[in-house]
């Protein structure tokens, strides 16, 4: 070995310098190449597993919006793909696959201070820790042609957590009556729990053995449910609730809502197979009225004036800052659904013979207005319309007393298309200052707040906000993939096109009076902020900028220089704010201890 080394050294000494340099370069290059190959071996091909992406469409629920008594959930980490059976539409028909919006799916809980938990990743149903949970889902059917015959439909729910699933119990899914669709975002446990609120109950009833995390429950709608669904194509929405065990030991199950941090991205899916829409819509179905009578042990009042006096006393006691507050509801004290009516008998009234009789008739008319209100339209068993008192359109807050006043007028009266002049330029909004959500109006500076006794004007103003000033086009929100986009549609021929919202959530569009700009809400920044887009150029401008707060529901002033919206910034409550059209000058105009939301500037 030593002789070999000596020979190598002698050879190097005798080698010319230029050859030695070349040889050294080859040696160094070879050593570096071997080091690299051993340190970074060639990658081994592996099969790639595609995992469905989950887009966070709403904020994760805060600790206050989830059941504080529930333990931390253990959720499945790798969901299996959802497989639905193939369906084939009839000639000229189409298959529609719809999912609920983020703020239209979730759950409510008995005795909760929070109205609902829509936007949570769970759809709870059952009982836990002595409280009852009800699941709630509403679907947007605006893409289905009104009146199109529904020949097939199924609803699929995917289980999310069976951590608190007990033995026994039953879970039912119900398609709700159309009047239950209203004010969906403000639903409470009480308003969702109407006994008469269900139009159709699906089969089969689910038991604990039918439920499980990652397990899909599919309900194929039967003819009665298909007929009910067909009627909802005119209103463009349909709602469902899920009831579970309401008593006994803890027995709670949750399905995936499709939203939030804990979702597996497999929310409720409603599939409809529709035939071609008829040329003319079918007549509206006759309302189903439930006639009710007095329930013992309350003694029957001698007359309506006595009854009105009792109700006024109860109203005074329940009014905040006046009485002791509304007592804790009991099952018999639950407010009645709007289709529950008392018998109405209308007879001609003779001309009073003297002043005392006239005063008595006026007192009776006022009391009837307070007790019964004005049914619009009247039940089909009422044939003669006679003067009955109705409340004025506006009641200022400083004049709201337990004593009602009424002015005789003939009923029924058709809902007008034009908004009352007295409301033009005012801001209408929803508020919980009377307990349940009600519509109020105020001046643009926040003064002269008054109760709107008939909300048709508010609903009409909301509708008009989505139309161009000349009514030739309308705005609507359409789901595409994981995004909610804003689209425009011609009212004459139905032609529609994309405006904005790709790869994000956009909603609450409102057209400016000059027809050139559209205000809307976007979750592009992670929370809800208000933007404005130029309809022709597509240029967008962000108007609000907060860290976590919500700024929602923009509406333009009649002259287009200002925008009203609601925000939960500052105190955390929903309040009405106004800003200039460029986003400057943002200020709170409601500024109270209640929640005020969803404003619209009446134009």
Confidence at residue 300, expressed as pLDDT on a 0 to 100 scale = 57
pLDDT exceeds cutoff 60 at 322: no
Report the C-alpha gap between 264 and 158 in whole angstroms.
Answer: 9
Confidence check: pLDDT of 425 > 60: yes
β 290-291/340-341 pair status: parallel
Across the beta sheet with 551-556, the strand order is 551-556, 562-567, 575-580, 587-588
pLDDT at 226 > cutoff 60: yes
Bridge partner residues of 575 (DSSP): 567
How crowded is residue 79: how many other Cβ atoms within 10 Å of its Cβ? 19
pLDDT at position 387: 45
What per-residue string of b and e applies to 25-38 under the rule 16 or more CB within 10 Å gives b? eeeeeeeeeeeeee
Q: Minimal CA–CA distance to 194: which of 340, 338, 339, 337?
A: 337
Q: For residues 581 and 506, give the distance between their C-alpha atoms in angstroms, rounded to a whole number.
A: 19
Residue 103 tokens, joined: 């703020």
Does position 253 have pLDDT exceeding 70, yes or no?
yes
Strand bridging mode 394-396 / 551-556:
unpaired
Q: Which pLDDT value is given to residue 8? A: 55
- Using DSSP's 3-state secondary structure scheme, residue 201 falls into strand
Could you tell me if 518 and 499 are in contact, meaning their C-beta atoms sit under 8 angstroms apart?
Answer: yes
pLDDT tens digits along 117-150: 998 899 999 999 888 999 999 999 998 888 889 9
Whether the pLDDT of residue 116 is over 50: the answer is: yes
The token duo for 60 is 């994760």
pLDDT for 580 beyond 70: yes
The structure tokens 């319309």 sit at 385
If you average pLDDT over residues 195-217, what whole number do you get? 86
CA–CA separation, 471 and 596 (whole Å): 29
pLDDT of 242 reads 95
Query: Does residue 298 carry a pLDDT above 60?
Result: no
The token pair that represents 452 in the structure block: 């709107």
Domain boundaries, the chain: 85-274, 427-601
Model confidence, pTM: 0.42
The total of other beta-carbon atoms located within 10 Å of residue 328's CB is 7
What distance in Å separates the CA atoms of residue 224 and residue 231, rounded to the nearest whole number? 11
3-class SS at 113? coil
DSSP-derived secondary structure for 120-169 = SSEEEEEEETTEEEEEEEEEE-TTSPTT--EEEEEEEEEEEE-TT--SS-
Beta strands in 30-121 (DSSP E): 94-98, 105-109, 117-118
pLDDT at 34 over 70: no
**Are residues 250 and 127 in contact, defined by beta-carbon separation less than 8 angstroms?**
yes
What distance, in Å, lies between the first and last C-alpha atoms of the chain? 103
Give yes or no for residue 447 having a pLDDT over 80. yes
The whole-chain average pLDDT of the chain stands at 76
Q: What is the mean pLDDT of residues 335-356?
A: 55
Taking 90 as the threshold, does the pLDDT of residue 596 lie above it? yes
Per-residue confidence (pLDDT) for residue 113, from 0 to 100: 72
Give the pair of three-digit tokens for residue 335: 């407010």
- Closest Cα to residue 243, out of 199, 193, 209? 193
State the residue for tokens 């139905």: 494
Helix %, strand %, coil % of the chain (to 5): 20, 30, 50
Burial track 484-502 (b if 16+ CB lie within 10 A, e otherwise): bbbbbbeeeeeeeeebbbe
CA distance 433 to 383: 38
pLDDT score recorded for residue 247? 79
Express each pLDDT in 66-82 by its tens digit: 344 454 455 445 555 56
Pick the CATH number of 85-274 from 2.60.120, 3.40.50, 1.10.1060, 3.30.1330: 2.60.120
Q: Which of 21-35, 42-56, 265-279, 303-317 has the highest mean pLDDT?
A: 265-279
Contact 114, 65 (CB under 8 A): yes
480: CB partners within 8 A, 6+ apart: 502
Closest CA to 258 of 483, 51, 54: 54
Look-up: residue for tokens 């949750």? 254
Choose the weakest-confidence range: 16-20, 55-59, 210-214, 376-380: 55-59
Q: Kindly report the number of other CB atoms within 10 A of residue 1's CB atom.
A: 5
Say if residue 54's pLDDT is above 90: no
| Contact assessment for residue 102 and residue 139, using Cβ atoms and an 8 Å cutoff | no
Q: Does domain 427-601 have CATH number 3.40.630.30?
A: no
Long-range contacts of 512-516 (CB under 8 A, 24+ apart): 512/556, 512/560, 512/581, 513/469, 513/556, 513/557, 513/558, 513/559, 513/560, 513/603, 514/469, 514/560, 515/468, 515/469, 515/470
- DSSP code of residue 518: E
Burial status of residue 451 (CB atoms within 10 A of its CB: 0-12, 13-18, 19 or more): buried
Distances in Å between the Cα of 364 and the Cα atoms of 142, 309, 330, 350 are 46, 11, 30, 14
């Amino acid at each position: 070995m030593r002789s070999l080394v000596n020979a190598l050294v002698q050879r190097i000494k005798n080698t010319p310098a230029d050859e030695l340099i070349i040889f050294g370069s080859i040696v160094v290059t070879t050593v570096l190449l071997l080091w690299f190959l051993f340190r970074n071996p060639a990658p081994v091909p592996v099969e790639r597993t595609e995992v469905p992406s989950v887009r966070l469409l709403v904020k994760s629920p805060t600790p206050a919006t989830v059941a504080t008594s529930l333990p931390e959930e253990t959720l499945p980490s790798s969901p299996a793909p959802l497989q639905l059976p193939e369906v084939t539409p009839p000639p000229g028909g189409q298959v529609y696959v719809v999912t609920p919006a983020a703020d239209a799916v979730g759950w409510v809980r008995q005795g909760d201070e929070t109205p609902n938990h829509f936007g949570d990743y769970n759809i709870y149903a059952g009982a836990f820790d002595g409280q009852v949970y009800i699941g709630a889902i509403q679907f947007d059917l605006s893409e289905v042609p009104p009146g199109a015959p529904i020949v097939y439909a199924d609803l699929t729910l995917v289980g999310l957590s069976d951590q608190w699933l007990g033995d026994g119990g039953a879970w039912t899914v119900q398609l709700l009556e159309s009047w239950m669709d209203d004010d969906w975002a403000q639903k409470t446990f009480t308003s969702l729990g109407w006994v008469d609120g269900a139009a159709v109950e699906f089969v089969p009833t689910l038991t604990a053995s039918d439920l499980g995390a990652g397990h899909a429950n599919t309900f194929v709608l039967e003819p009665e449910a298909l007929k009910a669904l067909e009627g909802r194509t005119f209103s463009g929405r349909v709602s469902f609730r899920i009831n579970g065990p309401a008593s006994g030991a803890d027995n709670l199950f949750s399905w995936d809502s499709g939203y939030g941090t804990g979702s597996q991205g497999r929310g409720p899916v409603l599939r409809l197979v529709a035939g071609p829409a008829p040329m003319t819509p079918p007549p509206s179905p006759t309302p189903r009225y439930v006639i009710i009578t007095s329930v013992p042990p309350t003694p029957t009042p001698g007359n309506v004036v006595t009854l009105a006096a009792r109700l006024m006393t109860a109203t005074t006691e329940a009014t905040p800052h006046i009485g002791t507050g509304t007592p804790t509801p009991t099952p018999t004290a639950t407010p009645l659904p709007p289709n529950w009516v008392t018998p109405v008998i209308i007879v001609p009234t003779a001309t009073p013979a003297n002043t005392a009789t006239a005063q008595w008739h006026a007192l009776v008319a006022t009391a009837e207005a307070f007790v019964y209100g004005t049914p619009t339209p009247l039940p089909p068993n009422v044939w003669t319309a006679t003067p009955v008192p109705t409340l004025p359109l506006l009641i200022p807050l400083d004049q709201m007393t337990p004593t009602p006043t009424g002015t005789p007028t003939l009923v029924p009266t058709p809902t007008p298309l034009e908004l009352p002049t007295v409301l033009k330029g005012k801001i209408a909004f929803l508020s919980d200052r009377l307990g349940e959500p009600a519509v109020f109006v105020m001046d643009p500076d926040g003064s002269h707040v008054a109760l709107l006794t008939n909300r048709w004007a508010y609903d009409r103003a909301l509708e008009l906000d989505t139309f161009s000033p000349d009514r030739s086009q309308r705005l609507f929100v359409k789901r595409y993939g994981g995004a909610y986009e804003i689209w425009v549609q011609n009212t004459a021929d139905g032609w529609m096109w994309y405006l904005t919202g790709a790869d994000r959530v956009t909603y609450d569009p409102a057209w400016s009076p000059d027809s050139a700009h559209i205000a809307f809400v976007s979750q592009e920044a992670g929370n809800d902020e208000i933007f404005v887009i130029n309809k022709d150029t597509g240029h967008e401008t962000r108007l609000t900028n907060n860290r976590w707060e919500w700024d929602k529901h923009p509406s333009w002033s009649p002259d287009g220089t200002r925008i009203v919206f609601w925000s939960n910034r500052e105190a955390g409550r929903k309040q009405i704010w106004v800003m200039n059209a460029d986003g400057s000058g943002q200020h709170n105009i409601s500024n109270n201890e209640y929640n005020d939301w969803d404003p619209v500037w009446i134009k």
